Amino acid sequence: MKIAAYHLDGKPGLGVLSADGSSLSPFDLNGNAAEKGVLALVDSEVGRPATTLEKLPLSAVKLRAPVPHPRRNIFCVGKNYYEHAHEFAGSGFDSGAASGAVPDAPIIFSKVPESVSAAGDPIPVDTRVSSAIDYEAELAVIIGRGGRGISKATAMDHVWGYTIVNDITARDLQGRHKQWLIGKSQDGFCPMGPVAVTADELDLSKSWVRCHVNGELRQEAPISALIFDIPTLIETLSAGITLYPGDVIATGTPAGVGIGFQPPRYLRPGDRVTVDIDGIGRLENPVASYHETRQGAVA
């Protein structure tokens, strides 16, 4: 199933997207449950499935991020495609480049929950903070069954589903602080959506991730080209860290990010960024000055 979180007349809802993408069948959830997005379904995996109500046209709702309020930081993976690993190592922003372009173990960092935004929400550019805003198209994994010490052999049993994230990054902050949390966690720096898909819906062996900026293709790679695949990432994270239902793991971005160009091609107000992943959909966000978003553009 493809699941969409939304607002209708200011009230939260959650529903199943129709096959043609034109309508939603809402789940029968109370407001508190619907406010959690797909976490309402993740939490009810051992309970009675919610029933659906009368269909709504997709055009009647405002989409929200599938996980609008993550319960803790989003786990993220750096340098997880070979070409991007070399691209980043040569960019001058990689504090670990001296040890080799391609990592021998997953590089893990995080983004704070408050960085999450929805499809259609502006990516804010606050020039008082950063003038080097970059894009990173990524597949994100949503954990359904938690655990500690999960093996690669059983890791996929713990996956509830998938969504798209754009791991927006302030490169100058990333370089200045020699770590990635601040540069990755600015307000609005994790567009997510437009929907989530259940694990049985997506064939990872056939899915590609692509990113366009103003209609120009910048990134394109198969999910199968990950250096460390999803089972490896889950095994790595759960080795000493308990994963919980609803945890989100962003799996890394392909080559073609803004710092890979000479000179770098950073995002500017007026740009439009689109991330596509086969089997999930298209996450599209405009870029706007922070002051414009503060005037009400961000929901």
3-state secondary structure 9-40: CCEEEEEEECCCCCEEEEECCCHHHHCCCCHH
Q: What is the pLDDT of residue 87?
A: 81
Cα–Cα distance measured from residue 69 to residue 200, given in angstroms and rounded to the nearest whole number:
24
Q: Is 90 a residue whose pLDDT tops 80?
A: no
* Confidence class for position 96, pLDDT limits 50, 70, 90: low
Farthest-apart Cα atoms in the chain, separation: 58
* Number of other residues whose CB lies within 10 A of the CB of residue 10: 6
* Confidence class for position 114, pLDDT limits 50, 70, 90: very high
Cα–Cα distance measured from residue 58 to residue 207, given in angstroms and rounded to the nearest whole number:
24
Q: Write down the mean pLDDT value for the chain.
A: 92
Domains of the chain from N-terminus onward: 2-64 (no CATH), 74-297 (3.90.850.10)
Q: What is the pLDDT of residue 88?
A: 72
| Sign, Cα dihedral of 247, 37, 22, 211 | negative
- Least confident piece of the model among 38-47, 141-150, 201-210, 250-259: 38-47
Q: What is the pLDDT of residue 252?
A: 97
Q: What is the pLDDT of residue 299?
A: 37
> How many distinct helices (H) and strands (E) make up the chain?
7, 19
Q: What is the pLDDT of residue 249?
A: 98
The residues, ordered by sequence, that sit 6+ positions from 90 with a Cβ below 8 Å of its Cβ are 97, 101
Contact between residue 258 and residue 190 where contact means Cβ atoms under 8 Å apart: no
Q: Tens digit of pLDDT for each residue in 243-269? A: 999 999 999 999 999 999 999 999 999
* Confidence class for position 82, pLDDT limits 50, 70, 90: confident
Q: What is the pLDDT of residue 100?
A: 64
Region 73-91: what's the mean pLDDT? 86
Q: What is the pLDDT of residue 291?
A: 77
Element (H, E) at 110: strand 107-111
Q: Tens digit of pLDDT for each residue in 37-79? A: 999 999 875 445 677 889 999 999 999 999 999 999 999 999 9
Tokens of 283: 């996450």
Q: What are phi and psi of 73, to 5 degrees?
A: -55, 150
Q: Is 297 a residue whose pLDDT tops 50?
A: no
Cα–Cα distance measured from residue 173 to residue 295, given in angstroms and rounded to the nearest whole number:
25
Contacts by 11-18, CB closer than 8 A, 24 or more apart: 12/64, 13/56, 13/61, 14/38, 14/40, 14/41, 15/52, 15/56, 16/52, 17/58, 17/195, 18/55
Q: Tens digit of pLDDT for each residue in 9-34? A: 999 999 999 999 999 999 999 999 99
Q: What is the pLDDT of residue 129?
A: 95
Q: What is the pLDDT of residue 91?
A: 64
Q: Which amino acid is at 214?
A: N
Query: 197-216 in b/e burial notation, b at 16+ Cβ within 10 A?
Result: bbbeebebeebbbbbbbeee
Q: Is 224 a residue whose pLDDT tops 60?
A: yes
Q: Is 98 a residue whose pLDDT tops 90?
A: no
pTM of the model: 0.93
Q: What is the pLDDT of residue 171?
A: 94
Could you tell me what percent of the chain has a pLDDT over 90? 82
